Each structure stands twice: as C-alpha cells, then as structure tokens.
Amino acid sequence: AQTVTQSQPEMSVQEAETVTLSCTYDTSENNYYLFWYKQPPSRQMILVIRQEAYKQQNATENRFSVNFQKAAKSFSLKISDSQLGDTAMYFCAFMRGGRGAQKLVFGQGTRLTINP
C-alpha cells in the first residue's frame, strides 16, 4: 500500500519570504501522480500543482514549484514570494496511474501561516 508522509505539522514565515514544504512517499508503482492541495479555512480542497512521475521536469505554477526526486521518493513544494492568502493547510497526495480505482492517498498535512 502507498503511504504519504509530511513531517512538518506546522510552519510559519513572513510575507514575501520563500517557504518549502516537505513530502515523502512510499510506493512500488512506476506510474503515478503526485499532488499538492491547499485547504484554506473554508475547508475547500484546492489543487495547487500536479506532477506526473514519468516527467523529469519539475512542475511549476506561478509562485508554486515542486522539487520531485523520484529515486528518493521526495516531493517538496516551494512557495515563492509568499502572500497572506497562502495561509492554509497543505496536503501532499499520491495517485496510482493506469488501471484501477484512482483514489488519492493524502499525507497528514502541514499548517502554513504567513505572517504580515
């Protein structure tokens, strides 16, 4: 079974700083996807960024980028020029590719606070 581990329960940085959230995962699959989701106080799950395992290039979405280290099974999220609106819970998630049910496996989350 796949597992996802986020070792930082909480993080706090000043506005405009850069912050990196860590995530490791365990799988024997070769075809999979990795995701970062944001959950603000509204509790809505918002997809931040997605990475396909077969792609060597790290995904980037505006101020959000990932460092995908497949051999180390590591998938960290970097937020540049952090903003107050980035304050939220962040969840790393894994999804097996190919056939079968495409359920998401989530980590425990990291609570990120951006201070003014």
Q: In the block, which residue shows the tokens 């024997």?
A: 28
Any contact of residue 70 with another protein (CB under 8 A)? Answer: no
Let me know: does 104 contact 47? Beta carbons within 8 Å: no
Distance, in Å, from the CA atom of 8 to the CA atom of 45, rounded to the nearest integer, reads 19
Any contact of residue 106 with another protein (CB under 8 A)? Answer: yes
DSSP state of 43: -
Any contact of residue 18 with another protein (CB under 8 A)? Answer: no
Draw the binding track, 50-69, toward another protein (x: CB under 8 A; -: no contact). Answer: x-x-----------------
> Which tokens belong to 47?
């997809």
Which one among 19, 38, 49, 107 touches another protein, defined by CB under 8 A? 107
**Closest distance of CB 4 from another protein, Å:** 8
Distance, in Å, from the CA atom of 38 to the CA atom of 32, rounded to the nearest integer, reads 20
- Residues that bind another protein (rule: CB under 8 A) add up to a total of 25
Q: What are phi and psi of 110, to 5 degrees?
A: -125, 125
Interaction site with another protein (CB under 8 A): 4, 33, 35, 42-45, 50, 52, 91, 93, 95, 97-109
